[in-house]
Amino acid sequence: MQNTFVSDVSHKTFSVFEQVKASTIRPSILARIQKDHPQFNSQSSLSIQELNTFREKYIAEYMMTNLRELTQLEKSVLNSLTDKTTLSDKVDTEEEGLTLGQRVADVVADFGGSWVFILSFIGFLIIWILFNVFWLANKGFDPFPFILLNLILSCIAALQAPVIMMSQNRQEEKDRDRARKDYMINLKSELEIRSLHDKIDHLIIHQQQHLLEIQHIQIEMMNDIMEQLNQIKK
């Protein structure tokens, strides 16, 4: 029994354990192989490495056809599939390139929308009023009706709106970035599942071929034993 075979695609010699027959290949992948190698037919065979190369080409062309063009996200997914790397570990690793304004917006969004800020501001107002009314007998630097306090509150209100808008814009950027990363991970998962199905199909078929070969060998051995028994009887 031969331990090697010659690929009908590259005409190179490979181990017989890497052999994949054309009859076991998914029709869409087979059509892609025949596009580059018209002589490749149902009786031909190739190695599993070459089959994986054509799978990657098919995936790229599929995405080109259905998505018009490969965006940077799809290219990252394909590179991740080729390099066998993960994408989920890169979801929270892009915090270093933020500008000072973006960092300030994040801090404002975290602190300005918390109970700590609300209670602190209420405490500041109560202390201000009590200090001017009771401690300074309403004759201090800001007596009733607290004109200075109203001026401070007006300035805070005037600055509050653009600060809140910056915080919201920053949050929207983070949400869009998170959605893009989720899309990349979901896309890679879909492609990995497709590839896994193909590999399982080829593994099952390959095992069946080996089992059939073993059965043929056992039948030949049984026939030899039967012939020997017949000769002994004669």
**Same domain for 64 and 108?**
no
* Same domain, residue pair 42 and 107: no
Quick check: 25 pLDDT over 80?
yes
**Boundary of a domain, candidates 27, 50, 70:** 70
Residue 19: which residues within 8 A CB-CB, separation 6 or more?
A: 5, 45, 46, 47
Who contacts 192 (Cβ-Cβ below 8 Å, separation ≥6)? 81
Please indicate, yes or no, whether residues 118 and 176 belong to a single structural domain of this protein.
yes
Task: Using alpha carbons, select from 52, 78, 53, 44 the residue that is nearest to residue 64.
Answer: 78
| Any domain includes 158 | yes
Lowest mean per-residue pLDDT among 69-73, 123-127, 170-174:
69-73
- The continuous run of DSSP H or E covering 42 comes out as none
pTM (2 d.p.): 0.42
Residues 50, 4 share a domain: yes
Mean pLDDT for the stretch of residues 198-225: 69
Domain count, the chain: 2
Q: What's the pLDDT band for 69 if we cut at 50, 70, 90? A: very low
Q: Is-contact 63 176, C-beta < 8 A?
A: no
pLDDT of residue 78: 65
Residue 172 and residue 113 share a domain? yes
Query: Which domain, by its residues, includes 36?
Result: 1-70
